[in-house]
Structure 1
Amino acid sequence: MEFRTRVAQVGPWSTSFDGNLRANQYGETRLPFRHHVRSTRRDTCPRKDGFSKYLQLPVELQRHVLSFCDPASLFQLMHASYSTRQEAQKLFWADPTSRYVIDGEWLLTGGHPRHTNHNLDALIHMQYIEVTFHEWSCGFFQNWRERQSYFDEIQSEEKIAAFWRALHHRFPNAIDVVLDEYQSQRPGAPVPEKIVHLAMGSPEGISISISQLRWCNDKWYSPESRHVWRKRSNDTSPTWDLIETFWNPRRILPPTKKYSGPVGEYMRYKHKHVELGELECARDVHALRVTAAYYLHVAQTPCVCLWPACGLQFNRPEEWMAHYLEATLRRQDHDGAVPPPPCEAIRAAFLHHDMMLAQNRRQRLDELARLQAVWGEPGSLQRSAAAQQFLQQLRDDPSYAGEVAPEESEIWLRYQQNMNVSVVAPTPSENM
């Protein structure tokens, strides 16, 4: 899969980066729910009477205090104290700065449990949603029979109605939904018509916005920023107002379901495989951001191209970034990942991160080998039994319920394909 890391921000200089971040093929980062709710602060020992004094405050003051808590603290209060659970839960899920990323093609096909790794019970509480289409990590990237994206079907009124029914069913508390158009456009292009058509079927009571990546100049490989248009309320004719030109919310990946049985083992493997791809893409984002920040805030010298045997220098970070993105299109000419910036203080962090990625790759190959060992040889009784167990779980387990018969489902077709793929051992460079 070709990663196109084209959305990157230059932040403050730091000698570390968040290795838990994931990124899509456009360089837009997101954080898994389990890390979103994990506090980065060191535990302290509060006074024994501290919390009891808090509970003696008037309810209005208790709510005011809770409003200053970060998501990790609110999540802990949701599970640690009965007295604060209800209010903490309201504040946690009502946080407008946390946007939950959802696969739009899953909703287009009805939002059935079979084709998602999400914890469906958690989706019920989410209020701020970002619906993405046609990402490489999407479980419905291609229709097995017709070999086309489900995204092409949103012109159908029936599919549009099914989409909004599924969204309302899975997210009954949603109040703000952003629909992402996956194809980027040059500056000044109109609002994407296909997504507008989908948005017009939205129910009352939900604020609807449309987002699209736009090039920063007329070159299609230039850095991109995400524009957002919001549907004007109480307007008889559909009108879309541009409200953001560099939209970059804190994107959260929903918590995963509990995996069990042979289908669960396979779905866990697929989920971890997607996570690996997102981690590898995020690695390029880290290199891009840290390098730009280093030259801008520390070295204060012209930016030098990261790619070996290049050495071109640029006075402005955005010029260097545009050159880097163009060079990335020819990354097959370069051996290996994007090198870290020329600063010893950050190289150790990248070296450790690269070792963790290499270990992750080996683990995914080991997992696939274990699944294939259970699958057995062609024509064997072991394979016949494994197939029956897999199909039986698809038939009986509500966690993997679907619209079509198990034998006709995409998950069964994908499972058979993966079980018959030769496992290739990592190359020496991957075992660093």
Structure 2
Amino acid sequence: MGLFSTSHPFTTGVDISSDEFWSRSFQERDEAFARLRAEAPVSWHPPVSYPAPHEEQGFWAVTRVEDITTVSRDSETFQSRHGFTLDPLGARSTGGSYFLAMDPPEHTRHRGLVSAAFTPKQIRKIDDRITENARLIVDDLVGAGDIDFVEACSRRLPMETVSDMVGVPKSERGRVARAADNLFGAGEVSRLPAEEAMKLKMEEAIYLFSLAKDLAAHRREHPSDDLLTNLVQARIDGEGLSDDDIGAFMLLMATAGNDTTKQTTTHTMLGLAAHPEQRDWLMADFDGRIMGAVEEFVRHATPVMTFSRTASRDVELSGARISAGDKVVLFYCSGNRDETVFEDPHAFDLSRPRTRHVAFGGGGAHFCLGSGVAKVQLRSIIGELLRRLPDIEFGTPVRMKSNFINGIQSLPAHVG
């Protein structure tokens, strides 16, 4: 029991824990977050609904950019090793979080092993491949008629990129994509009762672990110029990574490296269709404006909405007295609509001045390692789509119910 924790002041009148709340649209939910940002930027709430027994008492909701950044940059006080999801069991239930659930110095060593694959130099090496993949994807869309845009376009480029980097064979890429969809609550999982969905998610995680171990064994015997070869050859304090480490990394790449870019692509195309003046502004100088516009793509989409930490000591944050052992949740979906940081935060404004958003995290040790690759992919696929399919028509999106991913499960579209 920490020095501060005799009882927690539950926030009254603002519900961000129920299933009903997370079934609402992003915009409807932000009415609650706007009130929290204004009245109680760090506030205590009961745990979210979860289909398995747990002992969690609740969580602190951190809703402003300034506090999200403070927590993100202080890994000693706000730790990741006890889980990183809003759900009570979160990362511990999947067993596949790799360095997302580590703290320095362990996190620093493991992240260092894979960071070489994400340097600007390495990203330039895969840039041409990403550009070519984007072109081939749009080739398949030309004249396609009625499609599911998520299935036919958004999900393809990130999975191809991840598979190229890790060395997933062509024969397994469709299966890996399905596993990633199910792990994030899309695909078949979305149609199952809670307990069956949990079982399928575990099966998909086991599949990705098994695939990674098989690929790692192959790379030990047949090294190549890919990230997996670097991992099997790497040493930490003289020891190589375990098969479990490599399996967890595969799970991380197949999910975090896939769904975030997939969702941003879908949200961005909907935003451009709804705001043709923004599309026209971008296309007037695409090469000069696209990388600034990408920042607005990811801020406005906020594909990852939440991450959690656990306080290692008693600490005060914006007047809230947080006790050691308390769960602290960073609401990126709220931070990216923070009125104190962004003028007219709900607007989709590609000319918005560069401002510190939190779509890639709030900085610190866990800032998104793949942000550079994500930006290159978004530049490539959005550019191909706008240049070659300017008249694509979209229907009504089917949204995922999730407290983690701001997801669109399917999107009917017509390509003439």
Q: Do both proteins adopt the same fold according to a TM-score greater than 0.5, normalized to the shorter chain? A: no
Q: Which structure has greater helix proportion? A: 2
TM-score computed with the length of structure 2 as normaliser: 0.29
TM-score computed with the length of structure 1 as normaliser: 0.29
